[in-house]
Amino acid sequence: MPRLLIALLLATSGALAGAAPVSATDDAGHPIRLDAPARRIISLAPHVTELLFAAGAGARLVGVSDYSDFPPAAKIIGSVGGAAALDIERIVMLKPDLVVAWGSGNSASQLARLRALGIAVFDSEPRDFATIASSLERLATLAGSEATGHAAARDFRVRLQTLTSTYQRRATVPVFYQIWRAPLMTLNGQSMVSSAIRLCGGNNIFAQLPQLAPVIGAEAVLQANPEVILTGGDDEAAALADWRRFPSLLAVQRNNLFVINADWLARSGPRLLDGTELLCRQLDSARRKRPS
């Protein structure tokens, strides 16, 4: 067989192999099947952007949502709008092979419209550490970057296990996590933040509330009397100063008013372990302040 013909057959074989269908199940249980790994991907939430970069698919991103600012390379990718108000025309114009959405953050009607146009939409909604790790693997499968995604997932699980074995059995610390001041809001036990608090041996004092992000009254916090008050923000004085008006609060008495970069805890991506590790150290600090 002539060498040129052999080369052409090998090239064709390689192209066909590279174009093999890929599939994965998203966080809402929807099966996603692509005829070939996605080469044009759009992210509709900051946590999704972080997951895609960590999974090795950053170079395939042609559009991201507002506030997709990590890693730094994400900042140069054009925006397709805010999470709740997407620019559908721009998304269609970018001709994505795959759109990775945020089920509870994006507009349900806009996501339905994308699906009606025949665009594959992966629903990303990690609510626990295990789902973050598997997201790295599933997104890597759809992007054809399995080696990178599986390595990232493996590293995530190893670090998670180290944190779990170090902190989970330590004395329980009652924690109030504040996400907004006016109105006063928190997160319940189904949130990713609550998972981080549990891993560190903490107890979210409002875990039992039915809403994911309930509005509460200051009286409820005073009655629960948490040992730690935690918030995400850059300015501790602005975020937590209000609580110093209540010197009877245990968290105030012991100066257990802590701030963690909100992106580290609010975004369900690999950096969540950075936030969790810092949270664990903060709860250890609270434990050391207990009377002998």
Tokens read off for 252: 């105030």
What are the tens digits of pLDDT across the range 128-139?
A: 999 999 999 999
Name which of 284, 185, 184 is nearest 227 in CA terms.
284
List, edge to edge, every strand of the sheet that includes 121-124: 61-63, 41-43, 98-102, 121-124
* Residue type (1 letter), 262: A
Q: Looking at residue 13, what is its pLDDT?
A: 42
Predicted structure pTM score: 0.87
- Phi first, then psi: what are they for 141, rounded to 5°? -60, -45
The CA-based angle 75-153-107, given to 5 degrees, is 50
**Largest Cα–Cα distance in the chain?**
88
- Phi first, then psi: what are they for 117, rounded to 5°? -85, 0
Tell me the mean pLDDT in the region 43-63.
Answer: 98
Q: Is the pLDDT of residue 106 over 70?
A: yes
Q: Looking at residue 266, what is its pLDDT?
A: 84
CA distance 286 to 85: 41
Confidence class of residue 15 from pLDDT cuts 50, 70 and 90? very low
* Residue type (1 letter), 35: D
Q: How many CB atoms lie within 10 A of CB 278?
A: 18
What percentage of the chain exceeds 70 in pLDDT? Answer: 92
Q: Looking at residue 62, what is its pLDDT?
A: 98
Q: Looking at residue 233, what is its pLDDT?
A: 67
Tell me the mean pLDDT in the region 127-151.
Answer: 97
* Total residue count of the chain as it appears in this document: 292
Name which of 42, 19, 28 is nearest 117 in CA terms.
42
Q: Looking at residue 7, what is its pLDDT?
A: 44
CA distance 168 to 275: 15
| List of E strands, 26-172 | 31-34, 41-43, 61-63, 81-82, 85-86, 98-102, 121-124
Label the pairing between strands 81-82 and 173-178. unpaired
Confidence class of residue 236 from pLDDT cuts 50, 70 and 90? low
Q: Looking at residue 180, what is its pLDDT?
A: 87
Q: Is the pLDDT of residue 247 over 80?
A: yes
